[in-house]
């Protein structure tokens, strides 16, 4: 018998396979991986023994591109394309880092516009996460309803900057366009329209008995494991950890608004399960509405939104790290300046990458079918994971 047939079988990581175990590839084009992600599943019958994520299929050299731009502003369209479901938040995080490097203070009206856009983007991102999550576990109607409501937010974005996905809107020192006439009234109308629809989503999906059975007590992430891995956003708060950068390490003007951080409570199962992570996102949409409505009431009626935009950005020699709260967690930008007009080094800390790394810890012992629910509850965007 040839030697290759008698050699012990191993996974891609070198782990020895027992004779009753089998390796199954989930992806990289599986619809429930929400992008080009390959999961190498080691299974024993229907039970998952181990999971090895394979990433890099969407790697676009963001950091190297950023270092080769002729100026700092040109990096922003590349930020758009990292987490393309939360482009506003990506642009904002990068702008905050460069502004800190420059020691730049943006106008009051700009701060309010950024908060409004950032929270609208959070709702839009969560609507995709919740709608596709329902689709993953077999609920089709909530998917349509979530995308219907998201259109209202995209219409607001389009009237403001002309784009519906990749905005290039939040610039260093300001924003590209002021709010168009009637924007405040349209945004208020959207908030009034959308708030009852959250109850509609809960009636359709959240408290659906089948959905609860598919997600409660599945993919449990204990708080200590989440902290040890550096998880953030709804992934961390779903495990009961009461931490949000908007409150605990405040930036912009978030300290001016009344709102509450939402955490998982184990209402349908164990704290930190898939249902808790889902429910945190539902309740965060309500809190985002609260912030938006307050910001719309307080926003200054006048003010130049580009008065602080430098004609030529040339920061002093030094480095800076700034973190902010994207819909998926802590997005951080580390920038090194050598005193020239382009960054010497740009490093992006991806919350989705960190959250994905905990997947093997929360998948072992569950069934193959449960992997769909677990992966969907992490809410990854591969453009940000791979960068």
Q: What is the DSSP string of 195-238?
A: HHHHHHHIIIIIT-HHHHHHHTTSS---HHHHHHHT--THHHHT
Res. 2 pLDDT band, cuts 50 70 90: very low
Domains of the chain with bracketed CATH = 62-386 (1.10.645.10)
Average confidence (pLDDT) over 163-171: 93
Residue 157 has, within 13 A of its CA and on its CB side, a CA count of: 26
Contacts 24+ apart (CB under 8 A), 246-254: 246/325, 249/323, 251/96, 251/322, 251/324, 252/96, 252/111, 252/114, 252/115, 253/111, 253/112, 253/115, 254/115, 254/291
Residue whose token pair is 């609920």: 139
pTM given for the model: 0.92
Average confidence (pLDDT) over 337-365: 93
Average confidence (pLDDT) over 125-137: 94
Q: What is the distance, to the nearest Å, from the Cα of residue 228 to the centroid of all Cα atoms in its chain?
A: 20
Q: Are 335 and 348 in contact (CB under 8 A)?
A: no
pLDDT score for 28: 87
pLDDT score for 70: 87
Residue 4 has pLDDT above 80, yes or no: no
Per-residue DSSP letter, 374: H
pLDDT score for 8: 63
Per-residue DSSP letter, 73: G
What DSSP string runs through 291-344?
Answer: HHHHHHHHS-S---SSTT--SS--PPSEEEEEEEEETTEEEEEEEEE-SSSS-S
Q: Please choose, from the candidates 348, 261, 279, 360, the residue with its C-alpha nearest in 3D space to the C-alpha of residue 83.
A: 348
pLDDT score for 32: 83
Distances (CA, A) of 331 to 65, 82, 293, 304: 18, 11, 25, 28
Residue whose token pair is 């994207």: 326
Residue 151 has pLDDT above 50, yes or no: yes
Percentage of the chain lying above the pLDDT 90 cut: 81
């Amino acid at each position: 018998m040839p030697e290759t047939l008698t050699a012990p079988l191993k996974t891609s990581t070198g782990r020895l396979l027992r004779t009753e175990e089998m390796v199954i590839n989930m992806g990289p084009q599986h619809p429930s991986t929400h992008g080009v992600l390959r999961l190498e599943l080691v299974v024993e019958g229907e039970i998952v023994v181990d999971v090895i994520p394979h990433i890099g299929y969407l790697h676009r050299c963001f950091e190297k591109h950023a270092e080769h731009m002729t100026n700092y502003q040109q990096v922003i369209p590349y930020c758009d394309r990292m987490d393309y479901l939360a482009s506003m938040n990506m642009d904002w995080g990068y702008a905050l880092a460069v502004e800190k490097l420059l020691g730049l203070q943006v106008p009051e009206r700009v701060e309010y516009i950024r908060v409004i856009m950032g929270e609208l983007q959070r709702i839009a991102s969560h609507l995709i996460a919740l709608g596709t999550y329902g689709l993953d576990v077999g609920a089709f109607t909530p998917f349509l309803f979530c995308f219907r409501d998201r259109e209202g937010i995209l219409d607001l974005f389009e009237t403001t900057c002309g784009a519906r996905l990749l905005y290039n809107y939040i610039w260093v020192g300001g924003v590209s366009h002021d709010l168009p006439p009637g924007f405040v009234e349209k945004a208020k109308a959207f908030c009034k329209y959308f708030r009852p629809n959250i109850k509609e989503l809960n009636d359709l999906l959240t408290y659906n008995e089948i959905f609860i059975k598919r997600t409660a007590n599945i993919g449990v992430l204990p708080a200590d494991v989440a902290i040890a891995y550096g998880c953030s956003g709804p992934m961390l708060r779903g495990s009961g950890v009461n931490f949000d950068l908007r409150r605990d390490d405040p930036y912009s003007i978030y300290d001016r608004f009344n709102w509450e951080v939402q955490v998982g409570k184990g209402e349908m199962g164990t704290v930190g399960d898939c249902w808790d992570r889902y429910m945190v996102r539902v309740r965060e949409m309500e809190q985002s509405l609260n912030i938006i409505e307050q910001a719309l009431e307080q926003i200054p009626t006048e003010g130049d939104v580009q008065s602080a935009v430098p004609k030529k950005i040339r920061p002093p020699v030094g480095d800076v790290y700034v973190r902010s709260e994207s819909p998926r967690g802590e997005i951080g930008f580390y920038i090194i300046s050598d005193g020239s007009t382009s960054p010497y080094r740009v490093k992006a800390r991806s919350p989705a990458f960190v959250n994905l790394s905990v997947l093997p810890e929360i998948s072992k012992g569950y069934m193959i079918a449960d992997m769909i629910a677990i992966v969907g509850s992490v809410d990854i965007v591969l453009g940000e994971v791979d960068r």
